[in-house]
């Protein structure tokens, strides 16, 4: 069976085989896709909405390699996994908002967008005492209303530059290659706490650091392009 790869271009966006579109500039309509390409900062942004069994090892890897990054946390996961949430925060990582029920925010009302973001904010603030200001839409699904509602709550909407697609492809070599191939300053590399990501993470960090990149939080990576 031959699987055809479809390439469609819409404006300045391109979609390949179902992978989310990547724009040609850092910030598009208030949505952040990357930091300054002249910087050597890169972020491994880790979206957490399910699974905790691989987080301890991933946190150990990040600690051993002296890397701080940003974990975008789903609200229902936070409620069920408060101990792991505290472990992430106590390890010095940045905490971001990943919505409450993992809904596609481009398909819900203005009121529901507000509710999904604000409920997660309230819960995590109660647990950790932090005021989050970065929102990563679940599944990368957003529209103008999503961005407006996030902004009204004091949030910057964050997408990604590179997607490891680790939730779909359980292959540590493939995840590694997607993370490091043609990596450049300002990249936001999307991943999740899967077994294969856990296995690929040490190699990803070693390779990017060997190329001279500084692996840091999303806030640090985008600070030079904030508009």
d(CA 193, CA 164): 12
User: Which architecture characterizes domain 26-225 according to CATH?
Assistant: Alpha-Beta Barrel (3.20)
Domain ranges (residues) in the chain: 26-225
Q: Are strands 7-10 and 13-16 parallel, antiparallel or unpaired?
A: antiparallel
Q: What is the pLDDT of residues 161-204, one digit of tens each?
A: 999 999 999 899 999 999 999 999 999 999 999 999 999 999 99
How many other CB atoms are found less than 10 A from the CB of residue 89?
18
Q: What is the pLDDT of residues 21-68, one digit of tens each?
A: 455 568 888 999 999 988 999 999 999 998 799 999 999 999 999 999
């Amino acid at each position: 069976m031959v699987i055809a790869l479809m390439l469609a271009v819409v404006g300045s966006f391109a979609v390949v085989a179902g992978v989310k579109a990547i724009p040609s500039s850092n910030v598009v309509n208030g949505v952040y896709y990357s930091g300054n390409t002249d910087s050597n900062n890169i972020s491994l942004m880790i979206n957490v909405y399910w699974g905790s069994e691989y987080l301890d090892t991933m946190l150990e890897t990040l600690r051993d390699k002296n890397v701080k990054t940003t974990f975008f946390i789903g609200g229902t996961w936070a409620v069920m996994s408060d101990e792991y949430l505290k472990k992430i925060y106590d390890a010095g990582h940045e905490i971001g908002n990943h919505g409450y029920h993992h809904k596609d925010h481009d398909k819900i009302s203005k009121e529901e967008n507000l509710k999904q973001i604000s409920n997660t904010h309230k819960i995590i603030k109660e647990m950790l005492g932090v005021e989050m200001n970065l929102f990563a839409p679940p599944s990368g699904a957003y529209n103008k209303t999503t961005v407006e509602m996030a902004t009204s709550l004091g949030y910057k909407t964050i997408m990604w530059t590179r997607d490891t697609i680790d939730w779909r492809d359980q292959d540590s070599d493939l995840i590694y290659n997607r993370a490091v191939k043609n990596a450049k300053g300002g990249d936001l590399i999307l991943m999740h706490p899967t077994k294969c990501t856990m296995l690929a993470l040490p190699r990803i960090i070693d390779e990017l650091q060997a190329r001279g990149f500084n692996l840091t939080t999303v806030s640090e990576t985008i600070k030079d392009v904030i508009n």
